[in-house]
Structure 1
Amino acid sequence: MSDFQLAMLAAGALIVLAVFIYNYWQDRRARRHAEQLFRPTERDALLDGEDVQAIPPAPGGRMEPALPGNAAHADLPMYADAQDAPARSPAYVPPVPSSAAQTSARAAQASARSAQPVLPVDAQAIDCIVTVEAPAGIAAAALYTAQQALLAGLSKPLRWFGWDDGDNRFLELDVRSPGSFTRVSAALQLADRRGPVSDAELVRFYDQIQRLCDQFLAVPRLPSRTEVLQRAQEVDRFCADVDIQVAINVIAREGSFPGTKIRALAEAAGLELHADGAYHATDDDGRTLFTLSNQESAVFSAEQLRNLHTTGVTVAIDVPRAPDPVNAFDRMSQFAQQLASTLGGSLVDDNRVLLSDRSLKLIRGQIAQFEQQMEAQGIPAGGEVALRLFR
């Protein structure tokens, strides 16, 4: 290779190196300029505060409902994904280097945290929650009317809630609810005594929610179907484990029981005749402890009891729905024994096997175990969640 060719190669290499250095210098210059333009001039009290403790998402990026082993999160909002958690309200606090300013910043942060939307505990525990954001607002009555048409026929109960910014709380909505909301939540129950929500029904629920949001220019946040169906199975297994009803039959040893005597004994014990054709023993809040019904096909009514004669009656307790079920069973057993003694009957189970005091004691022990199991899972018998699950 000649000296001229070597010189040309060297010159070309120098030119390439010069271009590279020039481009690098230009890139660094542009980057410094951009940083100066977009660098924040003030400190953000919410983002930079050292005292803000973020709530870490549970494995899978979501808050688990208050089922097995998760009672610690019973008072926290549940979101399907970490990105579903509501953003903090923007705030500006001038950065004054004083303890008073730091105290004000901490107070603002605490206020922002306290204003986060929190659904009722029962919704967090046993519902599929879909959050809907509507920047322009949705009239509550219009939303409820529209969803009735789109979501009719679901096998599981569905409730709607609107976030009230003034009161910092969720309000349950119905067709008469006033005002409009920028944040609403649809809560579809995951399971009940008929079983868990199905995949097909969940798909329909999601599709119709999307149609509803399109109608109101809103954006839904749909939880993962796989996770929702898994939670539905967990709730259903819990229901199956504790779903028990206990019945004591009082049958006539001879002849039959007159309806007038049954009515007198029931009313003397404080029971009231309900529309379902059974007498109910209730607590101070009106919740049913146990019932008294006719063992034969005819239901009780004020008119029929005057002429009614029956060979047997049944007292029964729905354990997961009864508040304080052990004490309710004690009261039920005493009432059944009083019926048998006064009417001349015998206590038997559904197979007409005589129930002794020992048998009743064993049943009481089993009820106590179910009650403890429900308490351990954060769903007490007779509570709001239990009444929804075991409807």
Structure 2
Amino acid sequence: MSEFHWITLGLGAALVGAVWGFNAWQEWRFKKRAAAAFARSHPDVLLDTPKNMVRQGETGMRLEPTLEPAATVLGEPLAPVPEMVDLADSVALAVAILDPALDYVAEVHPGDLVDYAAVPSIEVGKRVRVLGLSDADEWEVIRPGHRYQEFRIGLQLVDRQGPVSEAQLVMFCEQVNAFADAQGGVATFPRREDKLRVAQQLDGFCAEVDMLIGLNVVSSRNPFALSRVVAMAEAAGLVLETDGVFHARSDSGKPLFTLADRHHRPLDALDDTPSVTLLLDVPRVAGGEQAFDRMADLAQQMALTLGGDLVDDDNRSLKPADLAAIRKQLVSIYAKMDDRGIPGGGVAALRLFA
């Protein structure tokens, strides 16, 4: 070989060695960054959260409510949660957004600060929330105009459509990995097998307590004049809202039960109706026993005053003893929810039964 060939060969070898060295250095830097993230001395507001007992729920068949199937009613909007999570605040604030007992939480450690606009929308058929660690070292729900040094991305394990599937988890991981790769970073995940088992157990528990109670007041002769229905509803403290349904709410504005036309027509578009239905979405209501008492009292008063019959969905007459039996079942359901650390009407319940 000529001297020129030897020089060219040497330069090529040096270039290959430089590229290999740079890649090795990048890999070492990312691993060091990820390790440092896991070794932070400040409290981890998500992963250090005490676990409730919901993970030990037993699987079972989906409970068909005695009076009305819960799946026929759309869930209320999710309760608002704090947008900012300061590490000095209560752990409960972070759990309101992402809870390892309810979510499959991935961590993304980018190579550099990432702008909000660069975070992709992750769509897998289940609720996804993204928290970012700002340059002020505060966890928050990501928002426009902000940049973040780390991310926690949570996929909800269970809702009223059932548990997350393996295919959905795989899709979620693929999309999160693609985001991490695009930002020159790394992503870490819990074991999928463990979380799939948790999801099945959690869904089994939800099936045991998922119930929507409906009490129907049916005219035995002529349809009820809507003016009389409205007068009784308003006297009981219910408010007709934009959906054409009367809503009973707590002093703090939380939903208790509804009064609607039995055939799902907006009440404000009717002059009369042959029947109305009062509905209580059991797991989504705090203090459900008292809400049921109030609902049952109104249903009985309407049946008496309007000259109608109080019946279940199969048009079987409901007597005071039947209402007492339903209330007893309610007490048992709410006790189960409390024992699992998912009280009725709480943040976790509103997420799971949506």
In structure 1, the partner of 2:230 is 263
Q: Which runs of 5+ in 2 are unaligned?
A: 1-40, 57-86
Give SS of 1:266's match.
helix
In structure 1, the partner of 2:34 is none
In structure 2, the partner of 1:67 is 53
Give SS of 2:155's match.
strand
Q: What TM-score, normalized to structure 1?
A: 0.66
Give SS of 1:378's match.
coil
In 2, distance between residues paired with 1:348 and 1:341? 13
Shift of 1:355: 1.1
Output one character per residue of 1:4-35: Cα deviation in whole Å (capped at 9) or x when no partner.
xxxxxxxxxxxxxxxxxxxxxxxxxxxxxxxx
1:172 has 2:141 as partner: yes
In structure 2, the partner of 1:137 is 113
In 2, distance between residues paired with 1:118 and 1:286? 21
Shift of 1:286: 1.9
The correspondence for 1:121, drawn from 95, 100, 109, is 95
In 2, distance between residues paired with 1:209 and 1:338? 55
The one-letter code matched in structure 2 to 1:239 is C
Q: In terms of Rg, which structure is larger?
A: 1
1:381 has 2:344 as partner: yes
Cα 1:164–1:115 shift into 2, 3 Å: farther
The one-letter code matched in structure 2 to 1:133 is H
Shift of 1:114: 6.7
Shift of 1:140: 2.5
Output one character per residue of 1:109-133: Cα deviation in whole Å (capped at 9) or x when no partner.
xxxx979999722422311000111
Cα 1:221–1:336 shift into 2, 3 Å: same
The correspondence for 2:322, drawn from 346, 350, 359, is 359
1:336 has 2:299 as partner: yes
The one-letter code matched in structure 2 to 1:189 is Q
Give SS of 1:367's match.
helix
**Contact 1:380 1:386 (C-alpha < 8 Å) held by counterparts:** yes
**Contact 1:117 1:169 (C-alpha < 8 Å) held by counterparts:** no
**Contact 1:296 1:310 (C-alpha < 8 Å) held by counterparts:** no
Give SS of 1:236's match.
helix
**Contact 1:161 1:173 (C-alpha < 8 Å) held by counterparts:** yes
Moved over 4 A (4+): 62-65, 113-119
Give SS of 1:380's match.
coil
Matches within 5 A, 1:214-229: 214-229=181-196
Shift of 1:68: 3.6
The correspondence for 1:324, drawn from 287, 311, 314, is 287
In 2, distance between residues paired with 1:291 and 1:382? 15
Give SS of 1:120's match.
helix
**Contact 2:134 2:146 (C-alpha < 8 Å) held by counterparts:** no
Residue-pair matches, total: 279
Cα 1:269–1:358 shift into 2, 3 Å: same
Give SS of 1:314's match.
strand
In structure 1, the partner of 2:128 is 158
In 2, distance between residues paired with 1:201 and 1:390? 19
**Contact 1:65 1:126 (C-alpha < 8 Å) held by counterparts:** no
Shift of 1:238: 1.4
In structure 1, the partner of 2:12 is none
Cα 1:65–1:229 shift into 2, 3 Å: farther
Q: What TM-score, normalized to structure 2?
A: 0.72
Output one character per residue of 1:90-115: Cα deviation in whole Å (capped at 9) or x when no partner.
xxxxxxxxxxxxxxxxxxxxxxx979
Deviates more, 1:325-334 or 1:263-272: 263-272
Matches within 5 A, 1:1-391: 65-68=51-54, 120-122=94-96, 123-124=98-99, 125-143=101-119, 147-148=120-121, 151-152=122-123, 154-164=124-134, 166=136, 169-174=138-143, 176=144, 178-301=145-268, 304-305=269-270, 308-391=271-354
Shift of 1:221: 0.7
CA RMSD of aligned residues (A): 2.7
In structure 1, the partner of 2:3 is none
Shift of 1:67: 3.0
The one-letter code matched in structure 2 to 1:228 is K
Q: Which runs of 5+ in 1 are unaligned?
A: 1-51, 71-112
**Contact 2:283 2:349 (C-alpha < 8 Å) held by counterparts:** yes
Give SS of 2:110's match.
strand
